[in-house]
Structures are given as structure tokens and as C-alpha cells.
Amino acid sequence: MATKSKKKSPAKKKSVRAKSKPRKPVKTGKAARTAGTEPKRVAAILAKLDEAYPKATCELKHENAFQLLISTILSAQCTDVRVNQVAETLYKKYPDPKAFAYATPSELEQDIRPTGFFRNKTKSVMGASKALIERFGGEVPRTMEEILTLPGVARKTGNVVLGTAYGIASGVVVDTHVIRLSNRLDLTRNDDPKKIEQDLMQVIPKEKWIQFSHQLIWHGRRVCHARKPKCIECNMEALCYAKDKTV
């Protein structure tokens, strides 16, 4: 008797759909920024700045680190020219930290009034001077950690004093000019000064931090103005692709 052959159940079709490999995250926004910070381009920008401003330095007049500290505090929301005008008589009347620390507040306010925000600046100047006497023997400290403990002192002031007075590259000075130009030159896409500084510290060689800040500030004051940049006079015009370039 013939046995009935068992019908084979149809084999399950293998899924044609292959397992998709995990996609690499698409770079967007700040993470996608690469073109502007290529080493060759950054080196070219630095070379052009050296060519245009070989002797760029801080334009706040000072005779020592303490005077530079006070002048930098006074320069907030004020031009260096105005601060220098005030400084001509200010340091004759207040020659050291002790003179500022124990000054008559209302009198000091009038002495620095032309720099603006004179009440807050008086508190900062007197507070910083007292801190120098009480904690640092009247000397401006040489580390960012210590200088940031002084009233009225943030990283910009710290970088100015440490870099210009002591030649210590603790970071990059980020003022309004550096903010504007570093964005126009495509070296950062941030607006926050702290983030901009971190971006610049990653792409600018440390030995250039101090000079780069001065050069960019000089360029911002002389050529790359906020409203009408003089692109025709700029030696970096070929390297710049800012949206607000002038013809």
C-alpha cells in the first residue's frame, strides 16, 4: 500500500528587507561647521592679520598691570579713547590700589563719570582694589582663577590683563569687535562670548591667542566696521564670505 507523501509546508520566505544600517547623524547647525576653520584657511587669515597689523597691541594706556586692570574695567560700554582721556588725570590722583580702595565713592564716581555706568564701575574699581590689598598683597594676580575672584572682573578683563601686562596666554579676548569679526570670518557661529572664546581657542594656535585678539580688534576699528565694513580696503576680502560684505 502506497503511503501518502506528506506535503511539505511552504518554506517561509526570507524577508527581502535587509536590516538597515544605523544612519550616521546628519550634521546640522553648529556641528556642521568645518569649512571656515580648516587649518590652511585659519593660517591664511593669521598671515593676513600679521601683514596688516604686525605691531597691534592693547590701546588702553597704562604703566603697569594695576592701571591696565582698572582701565579695562572702565572700558566696559566705553571707547578706549575716552578711557585714556580719563586715565590721564585718574592715576595721578589714585596712584595705587590703596588710593582707589579707600577713595570717597561719590568723588570717584565724578572722576570716572565720562566712562559711563560710573556708579557700578566705582563699586567694581573699589572692590577690586580692596581685594588686591587683602588677598594678593596689592599685586594683580597672574592666573585666571585668581583674577576672576576680583569684583567686576570677567574673562575678557582677565585675558586683557594677563595677556598684555604679563604675556600669559590664558585665552582669547572677546569684545564686540572679536564677536563680529570671528562670525564674519566664519571662525564661529556662536554669539555668546564664552562659547566664541572656546571656539577660537580650538582653531587659533595658543602662541597666537594674545596677538590675534589685538589684531582682530584693530581690524574691527579700522576696516571691518559694524554697519559699513570697508571690504574694498580689506586684505582678507578673498578669504571672507560674510553675507553683509560691501561692494
Q: Three cell numbers at 224? A: 571691518
Q: Cα separation of 112 and 98, whole Å?
A: 17
Q: Three cell numbers at 21? A: 544600517
Q: Cα separation of 109 and 122, whole Å?
A: 6
Catalytic residue among 50, 175, 186, 195: 175
Give Cα 241 distance to the centre of its chain: 21
Catalytic residue among 48, 80, 121, 156: 156
Q: Cα separation of 192 and 178, whole Å?
A: 11
DSSP 8-state secondary structure symbol assigned to residue 142: S
Q: Cα separation of 93 and 73, whole Å?
A: 18
Q: Cα separation of 140 and 143, whole Å?
A: 9
Q: Three cell numbers at 141? A: 594676580
- Judge contact between 43 and 226, C-beta under 8 A: no
User: Is 156 assigned a catalytic role?
Assistant: yes
Catalytic residues: 156, 175
